[in-house]
């Protein structure tokens, strides 16, 4: 069989990488790859500040810290998301409180957010799951009412838009992205944050860069004269910090990927729309796609549907197997809801949280019946095909699979 050759990282990725290595990681008088990547990403999003980081979990942690999340605080997160959203809250020593999701859009339900707000709520983390933006108008209305900051987790949503043409990650206080290998653009591992708030930008950068005193909102490099810096009396750190810096190697790749971001997003949108068109045409009741509100631009990290086969005696696993037999790439399951991942569920049972922080068993973590029911039924089809021919192959595999069962 002919070996599939990689197509996502050709071009400037290799050129920029080579430059970093040839220059012994020194940018010389030129800006570093990280600086260039940050500038480009900020410009595309029309934001004042962008801060590169080593993962989309680190970015969430940095963002929450900048908002001031710490011990004794609660952060509202959707139940239907990756555990990393909960981990970032735990890393701050705070408690995730789970909001339910909407049955049709699979996204955090603003009405449930408001129900879960308490005096301890310090932030709301919304997640634009599968590439579709949440209802930011309703969410910001609640946030403004209670004076709480909103963090947008856009790990799965690059250049998504809502009905007001606002870009994902630019509506709340801070936007956060992951550059892990399955994402629209990638540097293998990595992440980036954007904001228009200089205070948040400075704190996020400082936490991610070991708390160096001279870090500014704009710049990750400590630019001071050597005579001053190389002095035994020079004090370097005025804040505790983490080393979440993105390496120059990853930044080189991330910069080249950002230059082509529109192409990558367009490809996913093409694949997502092909699935959508086919499912509408097929009139199948086995798969119900994620609902997209009018004038929203879905960026289709994956094409997500509710699978209704179980009530008709078709198991989730057998459908997936048949799809693969028919030439399909595979189908991803939804992650367990965060509140049902053992690490979080055990805490709830035992009444313990975050090391030295004790939480009673009756703590109001938030019930999320819709998310728990949906999670078992969600099927995600891949949208990272290289070209129209590969997309067609997926649609044909789905056609054959539906014909087999219907
Ligand atoms: C919605 C969401 N948030 C956060 C993350 C964490 O990103 P990373 O894997 O880069 O730490 C991911 C990535 O898998 C994600 O999909």
SS (HEC) of 304-328: EEEECCHHHCCCHHHHHHHHHHCCC
- For residues 46 and 95, is the Cβ–Cβ distance under 8 A? no
Ligand 1 residue neighbourhood (C-beta within 6 Å): 55-57, 81-82, 84-85, 127, 153, 155-156, 178, 180, 191
pLDDT at 273: 98
The side-by-side arrangement of strands in the sheet containing 287-289 is: 287-289, 302-307, 378-382, 331-333
DSSP E strand boundaries for 167-308: 174-178, 191-195, 287-289, 302-307
**Of 129, 107, 122, whose CA–CA distance to 63 is shortest?**
122
pLDDT at 143: 98
Q: What whole-number distance in Å separates Cα of residue 17 and Cα of residue 36?
A: 13
pLDDT at 3: 58
Atom 12 (ligand 1) nearest CA = 155
Looking from the CA of residue 81, the nearest atom of ligand 1 is 1
pLDDT along the chain (406 residues), means of 10: 75 96 84 94 98 98 97 94 96 92 98 95 98 98 98 98 98 98 98 98 97 89 79 93 96 98 98 98 96 98 97 96 97 95 76 57 72 97 97 98 95
Atom 16 (ligand 1) nearest CA = 155
- Sign of the torsion formed by the C-alpha atoms of 64, 65, 66 and 69: positive
Looking from the CA of residue 58, the nearest atom of ligand 1 is 11
- For residues 330 and 320, is the Cβ–Cβ distance under 8 A? yes
Cα(85) to centroid(ligand 1), Å: 8
pLDDT at 352: 61
Atom 7 (ligand 1) nearest CA = 56
pLDDT at 229: 84
Q: 3-class SS at 368? A: coil
Which parts of 54-124 fold into alpha helices (H)? Answer: 56-67, 83-91, 110-116
The residue whose CB lies within 8 Å of the most ligand 1 atoms, and thus the one to mutate among 55, 57, 168, 335, is: 57
Cα(125) to centroid(ligand 1), Å: 13
**Of 377, 366, 248, whose CA–CA distance to 317 is shortest?**
377
pLDDT at 233: 93
The residue whose CB lies within 8 Å of the most ligand 1 atoms, and thus the one to mutate among 75, 88, 96, 155, is: 155
pLDDT at 358: 58
Retrieve residue 146's tokens.
Answer: 């209670």
The residue whose CB lies within 8 Å of the most ligand 1 atoms, and thus the one to mutate among 59, 63, 84, is: 84
Residues 6+ apart with CB under 8 A from 186: 8, 179, 180, 253, 254, 257
Q: Which domains does the chain have, with CATH numbers?
A: 12-259 (3.40.640.10), 263-334+371-405 (3.90.1150.10)
pLDDT at 272: 98
pLDDT at 209: 95
Looking from the CA of residue 189, the nearest atom of ligand 1 is 10
Looking from the CA of residue 191, the nearest atom of ligand 1 is 10
- For residues 177 and 170, is the Cβ–Cβ distance under 8 A? no
**Of 127, 116, 146, 143, whose CA–CA distance to 59 is shortest?**
127
The residue whose CB lies within 8 Å of the most ligand 1 atoms, and thus the one to mutate among 56, 63, 179, 380, is: 56
Burial 25-56 (b: 16+ CB within 10 A, else e): eebeeeebbbbbbbebbbebbebebbbbbbbb
Region of 77 on the Ramachandran plot (φ > 0 left; ψ -120 to 50 alpha; else beta): beta
Q: What whole-number distance in Å separates Cα of residue 187 and Cα of residue 43?
A: 19
Cα(154) to centroid(ligand 1), Å: 9
Retrieve residue 163's tokens.
Answer: 């009905």
Looking from the CA of residue 60, the nearest atom of ligand 1 is 4
Cα(285) to centroid(ligand 1), Å: 31
Cα(29) to centroid(ligand 1), Å: 34
Looking from the CA of residue 180, the nearest atom of ligand 1 is 10
Q: What whole-number distance in Å separates Cα of residue 56 and Cα of residue 268?
A: 20
Provide Rg for the chain, Cα atoms: 22
Atom 3 (ligand 1) nearest CA = 155
- For residues 217 and 49, is the Cβ–Cβ distance under 8 A? yes
Cα(156) to centroid(ligand 1), Å: 8
């Amino acid at each position: 069989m002919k070996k599939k050759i990689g197509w996502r990282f050709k071009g400037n990725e290799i050129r920029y990488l080579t430059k970093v290595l040839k220059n012994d990681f020194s940018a010389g008088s030129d800006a570093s790859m990280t600086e260039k990547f940050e500038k480009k990403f900020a410009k595309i999003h029309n934001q004042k500040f962008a801060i590169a980081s080593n993962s989309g979990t680190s970015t969430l942690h940095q963002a929450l810290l900048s908002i001031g999340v710490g011990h004794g605080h609660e952060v509202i997160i959707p139940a239907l998301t990756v555990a990393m959203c909960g981990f970032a809250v735990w890393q701050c020593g705070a408690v995730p409180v789970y909001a339910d999701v909407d049955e049709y859009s699979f996204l955090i339900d603003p009405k449930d957010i408001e129900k879960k707000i308490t005096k301890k709520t310090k932030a709301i983390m919304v997640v634009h799951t599968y590439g579709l933006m949440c209802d930011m108008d309703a969410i910001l209305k609640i946030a403004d009412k209670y004076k709480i900051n909103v963090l947008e987790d856009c790990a799965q949503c690059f250049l998504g838009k809502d009905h007001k043409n606002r870009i994902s990650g630019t509506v709340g206080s801070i936007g956060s992205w992951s550059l892990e290998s399955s994402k629209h653009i990638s540097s293998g591992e990595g992440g980036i944050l954007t904001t228009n708030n200089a205070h948040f930008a400075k704190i996020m950068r400082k936490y991610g860069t070991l708390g160096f005193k001279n870090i500014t909102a704009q710049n990750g490099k400590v630019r001071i004269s050597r005579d001053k810096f190389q002095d035994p009396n020079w004090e370097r750190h005025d804040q505790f910090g983490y080393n979440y810096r993105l390496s120059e190697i990853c930044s080189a790749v991330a910069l080249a990927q950002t230059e082509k971001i529109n192409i990558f997003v367009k490809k996913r949108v093409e694949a997502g729309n092909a699935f959508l068109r086919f499912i509408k045409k097929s009139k199948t009741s086995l798969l119900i796609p994620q609902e997209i509100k009018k004038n929203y631009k879905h960026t289709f990290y994956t094409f997500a549907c509710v699978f209704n086969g179980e009530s008709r005696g078709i198991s989730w696993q057998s459908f997936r197997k048949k799809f693969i037999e028919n030439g399909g790439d595979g189908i991803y399951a939804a992650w367990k809801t965060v509140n049902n991942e053992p690490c979080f569920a055990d805490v709830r049972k035992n009444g313990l949280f975050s090391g030295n922080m004790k939480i009673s068993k009756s703590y109001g973590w938030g019930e999320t019946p819709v998310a728990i029911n949906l999670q078992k039924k969600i099927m995600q089809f891949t949208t990272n095909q290289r070209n129209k021919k590969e997309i067609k192959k997926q649609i044909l595999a789905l056609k054959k699979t539906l014909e087999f069962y219907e």
